[in-house]
Amino acid sequence: MAKERVVTTTINGKEVEFQCQSRQTLLESLRDQLGLTGTKEGCSNGNCGACTVIMNGRPVVSCLVLAMEASYAELRTIEGIGSEAGLDELQQCFLEGAALQCGVCTPGFIVQADALLKENPDPTEEEIRFYLAGNLCRCTGYDKIVRAVQAAAQARKVSK
Partner 1 sequence: MSTVEKPAYKVIGTRPIRHDGEDKVTGAAKYGGDVQLEGMLYAAILRSPHAHAKITRIDTTQAEALPGVRAVMTSANMPDPGDRMVDLGEGTINLRHLSERVLARAKVLFKGHPVAAVAADSIHIAEEALELINVQYEALPAVLDVREAMRQDALILNDDVRTEEVGTQDGVADKPTNVAKRFLFEKGDPKKGFAEAELVVEREFETATVHQGYIEPHNATAQWHENGQLTVWTSTQGAFTVRQQIGELLGIPLDKIKVIPMEIGGGFGGKIAVYLQPLATELSRMSGRPVQLVMDRAAIFEATGPTPGSYMRVKLGATRDGRLLAGDAYVAFEAGAYPGSPVGAGCMCVFACYDIPHARIEGFDVCVNKPRTSAYRAPGSTQVAFAVETIVDEIARQLEMDPADFRLQNAAREGTRRVDGPVFDRIGMIETVEAIKASDHYQSPLDGPNQGRGIATGFWFNAGLRSAVTATVNPDGTVSLVEGSTDIGGTRTSLAMQLAEALNITAEQVAPSVADTDGVGLTDVTGGSRVTFATGIAVVDAAAKIRQQMVDRAAKIWECDADSVSYEDGQLVGPDQQRLSFKEMAQRMAEMGGPIIANGICTEAKQAGAYATHCVDVEVDPETGKVQILRYTAAQDVGTAIHPSYVEGQMQGGVVQGIGWALNEEYYYDDQGQMRNPTFLDYRMPTSYDVPMIDTIIVEVPDPNHPYGVRGVGEVPICPPPAAVANAIHDAIGVRMHRLPMSPPRLMAEILRCRGNKD
Partner 2 sequence: MRDFDYEMATTLEEALVLMSMHEPDIRPMAGGTDLIDHVRNGHLSPERLIDVKRIRELNVLELDDEGLHLGAAVPCYKIHGHAEIVSRYSALADSCHIIGGIQIQSRASVGGNICNSGPAADATPSVIALDGVCVIAAPQFDREVASADFCTGPGQNVLEPDELLVEIRFPPQPPHSGSHYRRFIPRNEMDIAVVGVGASVQLDESGQTFLAARIALGAVGPTPLLASEAAELLVGQPVNDETLSLAAEAARRVASPITDMRGTAEYRTHLVGVLTQRVLRHAVARARGEAIEYQPGH
Given the rule CB under 8 A, which residues bind partner 2?
A: 1-2, 21-23, 25, 44-47, 49, 52, 55, 58-61, 64-66, 68-69, 71, 112, 115, 126, 130-131, 133-134
Close Cβ partners of 109 (under 8 Å, ≥ 6 residues apart): 49, 52, 94, 99, 132, 135, 137, 145
- Local structure of residue 31 (DSSP, 8 states): I
What residues between 103 and 122 interact with partner 1 by CB under 8 A?
Answer: 103-107, 110
Close Cβ partners of 64 (under 8 Å, ≥ 6 residues apart): 25, 45, 46
What residues between 65 and 104 interact with partner 1 by CB under 8 A?
Answer: 77-79, 81-82, 87, 90-91, 94-98, 100-104
Helical H segments across 71-142, by residue range: 89-96, 106-119, 125-131
CB of 142 to partner 1, least distance (A): 4
Question: Which residues of the shown chain bind partner 1 in the complex (CB under 8 A)?
Answer: 2, 21, 23-24, 31-32, 35-45, 47-48, 50, 77-79, 81-82, 87, 90-91, 94-98, 100-107, 110, 125, 128-130, 132-147
